[in-house]
Chains A and B, each alone.
Chain A
Amino acid sequence: MTTQFQRLLDGVTQVRGVQGAMLVAAEDGLVVAESLMEGVRGNAVAALAASLYKRFRQAMEAAAAGTPHFLHLQGEGGTLITVPAPDAILVVAVGVPDMNVGLVRLEMLRAAEMVG
């Protein structure tokens, strides 16, 4: 099972500039599968990204805007992207500031589709 999940992540991590990708249990904030470069704090990113996603979802619902399909946070030192997948799983990717967000998004959506 893990190998299958690992393969899903490979598509994301092959994009240039991506430093790591994870499948995260949305409710627990725990890592289900990960493919990370050294130095990326997987557990911390997973817990905090899941918590953020939960908050954003609540905000979107409060605004009657439905559920968020895509969360993109851009910082000086890097990029964090979160995409919801079926079965309460999140696909989370981190990368350099100028990574190809469009391509990463495409690969993450593809991975999310295959999770279910």
Chain B
Amino acid sequence: MTQARAVEPWTLEPLERFVAESGARLTLLMTPAGQVLAQYGFTRAVDVMSAAALGAAIVASTGEIARMLQEREFALLNHQGVQHGIFLGAFETPRGRLLALVVYGPDSSVGLVQLFFEELVRGLVAAAPVEEQPQAVLAANFEEELNRSLASLFGQ
């Protein structure tokens, strides 16, 4: 069973190919605000959200530093640890600007991740829909369910 999961299905094929080729352990595709479009390798949705929030924050803050230096941007970032490395890349698609957060271990390398990241970007750019089709979301009486959810959340 694949460990990849996509909120936006068009991202799935390029993501799975990227993971297979780069040997990445975890991968997230997200918006610059940290909203996850697709993920590979995480087990809990809430962990995905934390990783995305932190990854987006790194890109956003280095982006600000770039602006202060009148640099275009630091499009690719790599943080090297002992066992793991984190690679962050920002890129434009017809769906808007997206970020990738990749965690890799000793069985891959920053060089491999960087190499196949370029391919991932090409794949995503080719697959991205230009705009989303609006669809109905919530039923008119969603408040009742929301109240129930929140009440159970707070043990009330």
Contacts and interface: CB of A to CB of B under 8 A. Distances in A.
Direct A/B contact, Cβ within 8 angstroms: yes
Interface residues of A, number: 15
Interface residues of B, number: 10
Contacts of A24: 111
A30 B110 contact: yes
Contacts of A43: 111, 114-115
23 contacts: A24-B111, A25-B111, A27-B109, A28-B109, A28-B110, A28-B111, A29-B109, A29-B110, A29-B111, A29-B115, A30-B111, A30-B114, A31-B111, A44-B115, A46-B111, A47-B111, A47-B115, A48-B112, A50-B112, A51-B108, A51-B109, A54-B107, A54-B109
A10 B110 CA distance: 27
Nearest to A55: B107
Interface of B: 23, 80, 107-112, 114-115
Interface of A: 24-25, 27-31, 43-44, 46-48, 50-51, 54
A51 B114 CA distance: 13
A28 B107 CA distance: 11
